[in-house]
Chains A and B, each alone.
Chain A
């Protein structure tokens, strides 16, 4: 996915940050274990969030121990020392999401891009095979449908923002719904996933506005507001409003999730993290172009 769902570090307690980092590193290791060393590179903040949410909903209690980082051997990190379904799920989610994102880029990228991405696809294809072997056919199907629906509405030039966001929202809704067996909780999680997916999709679209105006690629905001190269920057405030609506709905659903641990981390992400990411992508990034994304 896209890496927009991350915590706001300065507002975290140090122990929470350590716990977040432990989940991050454990997921990295899990990716390596399940899909091979190269798969560690597709680790993302989004899938880390999914892993932490899953641990919290399922009430998973993991123990951690220190180990050496394989990507950067000079570093020592905390790793989950027990088998964790949440980490396995999140790893599968990363692999499936990556494979279909790649398919999407190959489908509508330039010739050069296609040639460059081909070798990466070899890896991704292998990961997808493993994923299905591990019993994650359902994940694979969710993303396959998402891509199919996305391409269909892009090719017809869909002008509705809501409809454009629907495939991503639906995919995340299904993935989140699977976390609980309880009927009411499943509905709450589905709603949470729906708006989180919508939020992520709209953020990605807002992030790409300038590039997509230049390249003519599909972008729901460009089509809806008929934006051209010198568009009125006040439109960004309207777009922020549209994204706020997704954010407030996801927060409403989040408040109804029965969490068994990690509440402070998750709350930091869905309130402060989301807010600061919106601020960064829609406003700050455009004024200070050279500034790097804040690294964790």
Chain B
């Protein structure tokens, strides 16, 4: 697929380097593999990411002939290693989510360890069952607090919950849109008074 690199980045051909960099950074943030960790759409996202990287590289190298720009290097790291659930992990990787789930469900409850909970959470997340996946990741982390793989999965879920990536962030005070609170007015008056006094005048006679 040969697309116009400027169209891919959504900028006009006479955009400045700075504008192109900003557009590139925004898109790279959007399609970043971290956003699609454990998502069945990871392949589509990485395809988009590749397109954006290529477009950016093309533009930059044609603009500065000779020195091809480095694209920042967003690569998906796939945590792997020896595991007794090797086959389940392979299935998940190959998109055979239902098979993986069937094997996991066959494990008797007393033998369900941290890794089991992590993998079950991964499978649930692929199905879109975000709430139960979250519970599984939490259990996995409680059972094995030192494992970075489980911790990362839980962290992703927690940051999705925070509202930072969509939805509503209940913890953050909303910006006052165009408003002016009583506090703002008082501060403003105090400032104005001080300024006036500097110049020899006085806005608020009592202070």
- Encoded as 1 (CB less than 8 Å from any A CB) or 0, chain B from 108 to 128 comes to 000000000000000010001
Which residues from B are CB-within-8-Å of A236?
170
CA distance A160 to B130 in the complex (A): 11
Do B128 and A251 touch (CB < 8 A)? Answer: no
Majority DSSP secondary structure for residues of A touching B: helix
Do A243 and B131 touch (CB < 8 A)? Answer: no
Which residues from A are CB-within-8-Å of B35?
252, 255
Q: Interface segment, B37-45, B54-62, B68-76? A: B37-45
CB distance from B132 to the nearest CB of A (A): 5
CA distance A161 to B166 in the complex (A): 20
Do B163 and A275 touch (CB < 8 A)? Answer: yes
Given A191-B40, A246-B130, A275-B167, are A256 and B160 neighbors across the interface (CB < 8 Å)?
no
Given A162-B129, A245-B161, A252-B39, are A283 and B170 neighbors across the interface (CB < 8 Å)?
yes
Which residues from A are CB-within-8-Å of B128?
162, 169, 191, 194-195, 198, 249
Chain A interfacial residues counted at CB < 8 A? 40
Do A162 and B132 touch (CB < 8 A)? Answer: yes
Majority DSSP secondary structure for residues of B touching A: loop
A137 contacts the other chain (CB 8 A): no
Given A162-B124, A253-B41, are A279 and B161 neighbors across the interface (CB < 8 Å)?
no
CB distance from B48 to the nearest CB of A (A): 6
List CB contacts (< 8 Å) of B150-177 with chain A.
157, 160-171, 174, 177
Do B167 and A278 touch (CB < 8 A)? Answer: yes
Do B157 and A245 touch (CB < 8 A)? Answer: yes
B134 contacts the other chain (CB 8 A): yes
CA distance A194 to B168 in the complex (A): 19
Of the candidates A160, A161, A244, the one whose C-beta lies within 8 Å of that of B167 is A244
Do B161 and A244 touch (CB < 8 A)? Answer: yes
Which residues from B are CB-within-8-Å of A194?
128
CA distance A247 to B168 in the complex (A): 9
Which residues from B are CB-within-8-Å of A250?
166
Nearest chain B residue, comparing its CB with the CB of A202: B131
Chain B interfacial residues counted at CB < 8 A? 33
Do A242 and B161 touch (CB < 8 A)? Answer: yes
B6 contacts the other chain (CB 8 A): no
CA distance A283 to B166 in the complex (A): 17
Nearest chain B residue, comparing its CB with the CB of A198: B128
A121 contacts the other chain (CB 8 A): no
Nearest chain B residue, comparing its CB with the CB of A283: B170
- Encoded as 1 (CB less than 8 Å from any B CB) or 0, chain A from 227 to 244 comes to 000000000110011111
CA distance A229 to B35 in the complex (A): 38
**Most chain B beta-carbon contacts within 10 A, residue among A162, A237, A250, A253:** A162
A188 contacts the other chain (CB 8 A): yes
Interface residues of B (CB under 8 A from A): 30-31, 35-36, 39-41, 44-45, 47-48, 124, 128-132, 134, 157, 160-171, 174, 177
The 3 closest A-B pairs by CB, nearest first: A247-B167, A244-B167, A162-B129
Task: Give me 14 A-to-B residue pairs in the complex whose CB atoms sit less than 8 angstroms apart, sorted by A's number.
Answer: A162-B129, A194-B128, A237-B170, A237-B171, A240-B170, A242-B130, A244-B165, A244-B167, A245-B167, A246-B130, A247-B166, A248-B165, A256-B45, A278-B167
